[in-house]
């Protein structure tokens, strides 16, 4: 086969550095494009075998049709979540692979960093002391020890976050659609998570079923002063309801690494622009909201693992029958899906 050509969308310097290093021994031809993959930019993939995409690239029906027409064979996600891919439509048209785990520690540790920053008012203290303001007024926090944390999603990241929380002496309860059978995790219903938790942290994928699981109704069930942490996907939270919950003093603080309308904003520098998104502007204006721009994954270890696994996925796809990291909407549901029988999904 000819040298494999990869069209790499939404490329940032840190991506390029890690992929250039990982590609040293493999030597694929990688074209790095700054732009996101959308139906307007998909033509850049012409002549490539693979498109490599991240969380905010659109792999919808139009993009899939265009990729198939251009004979692109593989969508290689360099992330774990794939809510930005129409996997059902892609079935039997184009294969999708992902990086299921690269550093769950990176994300879980960032969730704790956001929580501690928020409740101990570190973001305020940092700015004050830089201005030689050593007053403590308004900086009172609370102990994590003894507080109840509700974890939604007990996969790789959720479980590490559970361990971290236990290290702080917190009481951990959890909800998962598919609870782990052989664990010491105390599973409860989602309603019990809302009702009992002082802090709630989200570590589940975004699906049609759980979109806006944090909404007016669930917020009404929560404890007054609850702290929400979202390092998963923005769409889990209905942002308008979140803003309302904070304004009504029901929600004590929000730590957000993701935002449902992030795709055109996050990862870019708008410091010299007027941002049009009034909801995000309102959130950022609140003293008890911390927003980081989808950076929970951003550690050296994670970047290196992402690059190695992505290129390994590509190699495996073109050289082997079996794609261990293939994403298939049928696999969890249908017994005769080929992935279950040591092959590609179609």
Residues 241 and 219: beta-carbon distance below 8 Å: yes
Buried b (16+ CB within 10 A) or exposed e, 291-309: bbebebbbbeebbbbbbbb
Residue 250 CB contacts under 8 Å (≥ 6 apart), including other chains:
219, 220, 222, 224, 225, 226
Q: What residues from 28 to 87 belong to the interface with ligand NAI (CB under 6 A)?
A: 80-81
Q: Which stretch binds ligand NAI (CB under 6 A): 112-120, 126-134, 148-156, 262-270?
A: 148-156
C-alpha 119/C-alpha 290 separation (Å) is 10
Stretch that binds ligand NAI, among 33-41, 99-107, 124-132, 315-323 (CB under 6 A): 99-107
Q: Which residues are catalytic?
A: 233, 262, 294
Q: In angstroms, give the least distance from the CB of 336 to ligand NAI.
A: 23
Span near ligand NAI by CB under 6 A; candidates 6-14, 124-132, 202-210, 274-282: 202-210
Size of the site for ligand NAI (CB under 6 A): 30
Q: Is 339 in the site for ligand NAI (CB under 6 A)?
A: no
**Cβ-based nearer residue to ligand NAI, 23 or 293:** 293
Which of residues 177, 247, 249, 268 is near ligand NAI by CB under 6 A?
177
Region class of 100: left (phi > 0), else alpha (psi between -120 and 50), else beta: alpha
| Token output for 280 | 């995000």
Q: Is the distance from CB of 74 to CB of 48 less than 8 angstroms? A: no
Residues 156-175 that bind ligand NAI (CB under 6 A): 156-158, 175
Among 63, 90, 107, 165, binds ligand NAI (CB under 6 A): 107
Question: Which is closer to ligand NAI, CB of 45 or CB of 327?
Answer: 327
Q: Footprint of ligand NAI on residues 260-319 (CB under 6 A)? A: 294, 296-297
Counting contacts by CB under 6 A, is residue 225 touching ligand NAI? no
176 part of the interface to ligand NAI, by CB under 6 A: yes
Chain-centre distance of CA 113, in angstroms?
A: 16
Which residue's Cβ lies closest to ligand NAI?
Answer: 155
Provide the token pair at 293. Answer: 């721009």
Binding test (CB under 6 A) with ligand NAI, winner from 19, 50, 104, 223: 104
Contact residues for 50 (Cβ-Cβ < 8 A; gap 6+): 4, 5, 6, 7, 72, 73, 74, 75, 76, 314
Q: Does residue 232 touch ligand NAI according to CB under 6 A?
A: yes
Residue 129 φ/ψ, nearest 5 degrees: -70, -25
Task: Retrieve residue 52's tokens.
Answer: 């490599």
Smallest separation (angstroms) from ligand NAI to the CB of 145: 25
- Least distance in Å: CB of 204 to ligand NAI? 3
Tokens representing residue 312 in the block? 């390994």
Cβ atoms within 10 Å, residue 261: 13
d(CA 111, CA 109): 5
Shortest distance (Å) from residue 114 CB to ligand NAI: 10
**Residue closer to ligand NAI, measured from CB, 151 or 226:** 151
- Count CB-CB contacts under 10 A for residue 181: 5
Residues in contact with ligand NAI by the rule CB under 6 A: 80-81, 101, 104, 107, 152-158, 175-178, 203-205, 207, 209-210, 231-233, 257-258, 294, 296-297
């Amino acid at each position: 086969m000819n040298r494999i050509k990869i069209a790499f969308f939404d490329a940032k310097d840190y991506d390029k550095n890690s992929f250039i290093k990982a590609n040293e021994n493999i030597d694929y031809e990688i074209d790095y494009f700054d732009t996101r993959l959308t139906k307007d930019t998909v033509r850049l993939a012409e002549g490539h075998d693979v498109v490599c995409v991240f969380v905010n690239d659109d792999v919808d029906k139009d993009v899939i049709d265009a990729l198939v027409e251009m004979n692109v064979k593989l969508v290689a996600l360099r992330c774990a979540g794939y809510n930005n891919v129409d996997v059902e439509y892609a079935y039997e048209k184009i294969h999708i692979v992902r990086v299921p785990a690269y550093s769950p520690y990176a994300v879980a540790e960032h969730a704790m960093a956001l929580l501690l920053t928020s409740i101990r008012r570190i973001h305020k203290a940092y700015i004050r002391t830089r201005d030689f303001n050593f007053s403590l007024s308004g900086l009172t926090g609370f102990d994590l020890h003894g507080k109840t944390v509700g974890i939604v999603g007990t996969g790789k990241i959720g479980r590490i976050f559970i361990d971290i929380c236990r290290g702080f002496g917190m009481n951990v309860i959890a909800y998962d659609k598919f609870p782990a059978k052989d664990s010491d995790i105390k599973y409860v219903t989602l309603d019990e998570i809302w009702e009992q938790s002082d802090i709630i942290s989200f570590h589940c994928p975004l699906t049609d079923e759980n979109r806006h699981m944090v909404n007016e109704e669930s917020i009404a069930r929560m404890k007054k002063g609850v702290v929400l942490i979202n390092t998963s996907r923005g769409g889990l939270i209905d942002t308008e309801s979140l803003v309302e919950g904070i304004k009504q003093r029901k929600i004590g603080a929000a730590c957000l690494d993701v935002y449902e309308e992030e795709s055109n904003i996050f990862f870019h520098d708008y410091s010299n622009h007027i941002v049009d998104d009034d909801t995000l502007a309102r959130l950022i204006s609140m003293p008890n909201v911390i927003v980081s721009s989808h950076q929970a994954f951003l550690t050296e270890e994670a970047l290196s693992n992402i690059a190695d696994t992505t290129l390994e996925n590509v190699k495996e796809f073109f050289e082997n029958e079996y794609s261990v990291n293939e994403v298939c909407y049928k696999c969890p549901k249908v017994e005769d899906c080929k992935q279950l029988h040591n092959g590609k999904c179609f």
